[in-house]
Structure 1
Amino acid sequence: MSRTWSEFVALLSDLLSLPLILLILLLLATAVALLWYYFPAWLPRRRRGEKRKWRLRWPKWRWRWRRPRFRWPWKRKAKTKSVTVEQQIEELIASEEELPEVPPAVYQTLADRLAAEGRYAEALRERYRSAIRDLVQHGVIDNRPGWTVTELARAAGSARPQVDGSLRSASALFSEVWYAEHPATAGHDDQMRTLADEVHQTLVVPR
């Protein structure tokens, strides 16, 4: 068997040059790869109603040349879907969660709109939620639905004593308006804005 193979290779080398043999092998490999890639589109299929006639269906494909783009590694940026503030506000309003995952600034923007409409109780609530979202975002407390304002203030004060005073005042103001049902005024909204800002400033300042 080995002798027969050797004689066949010698005969083939006499008839064809080595570059031509390599070219033939490359063309065969390309043809096999194309047939494998487009399988089974190239198989003959019988038309409906025909019994003996067969036709060969070749895949339709076009060669498209695309010029490669070179980008420096430090200029490559991940494609992220940009979300506008309006979309985040709509998401915040439509959400049924106690503390949706949107930036604290979105809560404050919504609170400004509510205050401009005279809805001070709702504006005060959004400012209070912005402070809580700030605490969650900075890892001071976890987002645990069902917490009372007292439990929340106690947990945040234990984890970050610097926010204890401002957060307790904000929780007391929130309870006065929403639990005791005292009418909210623009002064209450301004006071909650100040307390929320104090919590934020305390969190962004390094300890």
Structure 2
Amino acid sequence: MSRWWTEAVAALGDVVPLPLATLLLLLVALLVALGWYFFPAWVPRRLPRLPRLRLPRFRFPRLPRWRLPRLRRLPRRRRRPRTTAEAPTVPAPRAGAPEQPAAAHASLADRLAAEGRYAESVRERLRDMIRELVVGRVVEHRPGMTVAELTAAAARVRPRVHPPLHAAGTIFSDLWYAQRPATPEHDRRMRELATDLHRELSGDPEDGERR
């Protein structure tokens, strides 16, 4: 039994001469080699576009839009800045004025009260009381000292001066820091407190003249 390729070559030789078939095979091999060597330069980059098939579009009917009512914004409340309560300080002597005796402050307080300037009269009356404490060496006045500090310092040395001095400091704080209106009653009360303080400092059971 002969091999199948022998019969195939014999059948091909009957149709195409063998030299021509050999030449064709060499030509095909050459074309394949050139195509393999220059690949992919000969391959087209873009393929031809196929025509698009446009299908009819189906549009859904538009539904009505439901809008919610707008809510009004409430105005923001502005926060008030917190003001820290300032501790009432002892009224300092008038700028540029020399140190005066306690009686000078008392006489000035009387003149201010006669003019209806009761708030200033209360301040001068408190200066009179502080000056009397300093002269009596009960306290040592320091600039910036608060009324509470002055009262506490005086009470440590002379405990009995605390009630009138504390009451006088309260009246002064109400008028000059709490901005309450001054009345003749405040002036009358300050006179009584100044008299009580003088009595405690002098040690006399009854009112006496100031030194």
Q: When the two structures are superposed, what TM-score results if normalisation uses the length of structure 1?
A: 0.52
Match of 2:141 among 138, 143, 147: 143
Q: Which amino acid aligns with 1:183?
A: P
One-letter amino acid of the structure 2 residue matched with residue 124 of structure 1: V
The answer for the alignment partner of 1:171 in structure 2 is 169
Does structure 1 residue 131 correspond to structure 2 residue 129?
yes
Q: 1:120 to 1:151 in 2, by over 3 A?
A: same
Question: Using the alignment, how far apart are the partners of 1:194 and 1:162 within structure 2?
Answer: 15
- Structure 1 residues 141-188: Cα deviation after superposition (integer angstroms, max 9, x where no partner): 002111011111111111110101111111111111111010000110
Residues of 2 paired with 1:122 and 1:100: CA distance?
A: 19
Of 113, 119, 141, which aligns to 1:115? 113
The alignment partner of 1:180 has SS state of coil
1:106-134 deviation digits (Å, cap 9, x = unpaired): 10100010011100000010001100100
Residue in structure 1 matching 2:104, options 106, 111, 116: 106
CA distance in 2, matches of 1:143, 1:119: 26
Alignment of structure 1 residues 41-190 onto 2, 5 Å: 95-96=94-95, 101-190=99-188
Query: What percentage of residue pairs aligned between the two structures are identical?
Result: 50
Question: Counterpart in 1 of 2:28?
Answer: none
Q: CA RMSD in A?
A: 2.0
Distance apart, 1:201 and its partner CA: 1.2
- Structure of greater relative contact order (alpha carbons < 8 Å, 6+ residues apart): 2
Structure with higher helix content: 1
Cα offset, 1:100, TM superposition: 5.4
Deviation for aligned residue 1:95? 3.7
Match of 2:127, SS state, is helix
Q: Deviations over 1:26-57 (max 9, x none)?
A: xxxxxxxxxxxxxxxxxxxxxxxxxxxxxxxx
Task: Give, as a single letter, the amino acid of the residue that structure 2 aligns with 1:202.
Answer: E
Calculate the TM-score normalised by the size of structure 2.
0.51
Gaps in structure 1 of 5+ consecutive residues: 1-93
Give the aligned residue type for 1:110: L
Unaligned runs of at least 5 residues, structure 2: 1-92, 205-211
Please tell me the residue identity of whatever aligns with 1:196.
A
Q: 1:100 to 1:187 in 2, by over 3 A?
A: farther
What does residue 86 of structure 2 align with?
none
Q: Which residue in 2 is equivalent to 1:45?
A: none
How many pairs align?
Answer: 113
Equivalent residue of 1:183, what SS?
A: coil
- Superposed, which structure 2 residues align to 1:11-22 within 5 Å? none
For residues 201 and 113 of structure 1, what CA distance do their matches in structure 2 show?
23
